[in-house]
Amino acid sequence: VADATARDLGERDLVAAVCRRLTTGPGVLLGPGDDAAVVAAPDGRVVATTDVLVEGVHFRRDWSSGYDVGRKAAAANLADVAAMGGRGTALLVGLAAPPDLSVSWALALADGLRDEARLVGASVVGGDIVASTEIVVSVTALGDLAGRPPVSRSGAAAGDLVVVAGRLGWSAAGLALLLAGADAGPCVDGHRRPRPPYDLGPLLARLGATAMCDVSDGLLVDLGQIAEASGVGAELELSALPIDGPVQAAADLLGLSARDWVLGGGEDHALLATVPAGTRLPESVVVVGRIVAGPGVRVDGLAELPDAGWEHYR
């Protein structure tokens, strides 16, 4: 059925074919196929978040495979769970897609969701497939805090260090390369399949992170949101920002600024956190600035416009 379309198969057979690709781990008490799934919530609480991807806005089918879109949609949600200090346990997927969608694309999407979920031990437990004119993938992730309080955006205090874990600027560089006609390379791969540092969310929570979020709108914007929610300001030090080799190489190739991608690019789903000064950090966590009393975000002492990141309808 590799070349069949959703219309050829019909909703029920398509759902059945998708379900056959899925596997469920031990935390899934009742998997896909009933009115609802049942998932373990060991500490009596569940973390829950929803992110939506739309074709033409968040992905292009000529640039990303169904598998890539599945990986990316799962990553965006599982990174949100990690940013609370949690670990993803389950995904639910609402897929709206046109009747001429190829079945193989839908199955690859399911494979991508499954494989990204598996990185944290989570499973795809449910969803819905409906007819539409464009592809919309709405993913909900559930997660477990293992008894810890959630790390919100609002707990940063003056004197805290601003730290980053994971990639910055890769997805933005990859997008620029795709727009310029490239179709391979580490940043392009990074755009197609972000690699959030899932394990570092719970680790930063255990280390006493006072605030945390994932970088989905750009470092400056997301740090601005932590600062605003916490009633503080933040100072970033340009020389401390990690500019990875592939990002610098892409900037050199295109004659663009790697720093702009690192400060303004979203979708890598790095983790951005604040921790008390003196916190002993693992090597993969980089100190990029500090929290100050005054409002706003400054880079090397200069005020930055807080709304440089991506915003829908703008």
Considering only residues 35 through 54, tell me which ones interact with a copy of itself, judged by CB under 8 A: 35-54
- Which residues on adjacent β-strands are paired with residue 141? 49, 91
User: How far apart (Å, rounded) are the C-alpha atoms in residues 121 and 87?
Assistant: 8
Of 66, 70, 86, 264, the one binding a copy of itself (CB under 8 A) is 86
φ, ψ dihedrals at 241, nearest 5° = -70, 135
285-292 β-sheet, strand order: 211-214, 271-275, 161-165, 285-292, 233-236, 296-299, 302-303
* Residues in contact with a copy of itself, shown as a per-residue x/- string from 127 to 166 under the rule CB under 8 A: xxxxxxxx-x-xxxxxx-x----x-xxx------------
- Shortest approach of a copy of itself to residue 292 CB, angstroms? 22
Identify which of 206, 222, 227 has the alpha carbon closest to the alpha carbon of residue 285.
206
296 binds a copy of itself (CB under 8 A): no
Q: Considering beta carbons, is residue 13 or 237 the nearer one to a copy of itself? A: 13
CA distances from 25 to 124, 145, 146, 161 (A): 9, 18, 17, 37
Element (H, E) at 178: helix 170-179
Q: Is the dihedral of CA 59, 60, 63, 65 positive or negative?
A: positive
> Which span sits near a copy of itself by CB under 8 A: 28-36, 191-199, 254-262, 281-289?
28-36
182 binds a copy of itself (CB under 8 A): no
6 binds a copy of itself (CB under 8 A): yes
Number of residues this chain uses to bind a copy of itself (CB under 8 A): 75
> Which span sits near a copy of itself by CB under 8 A: 92-100, 160-168, 183-191, 230-238?
92-100
> Which span sits near a copy of itself by CB under 8 A: 8-16, 111-119, 166-174, 281-289?
8-16
- Shortest approach of a copy of itself to residue 154 CB, angstroms? 8
Of 93, 107, 122, 156, the one binding a copy of itself (CB under 8 A) is 93
Identify which of 34, 23, 40 has the alpha carbon closest to the alpha carbon of residue 142.
40
- Shortest approach of a copy of itself to residue 303 CB, angstroms? 20
Binding to a copy of itself (CB under 8 A) within 273-292 occurs at: none
User: How far apart (Å, rounded) are the C-alpha atoms in residues 247 and 250?
Assistant: 5
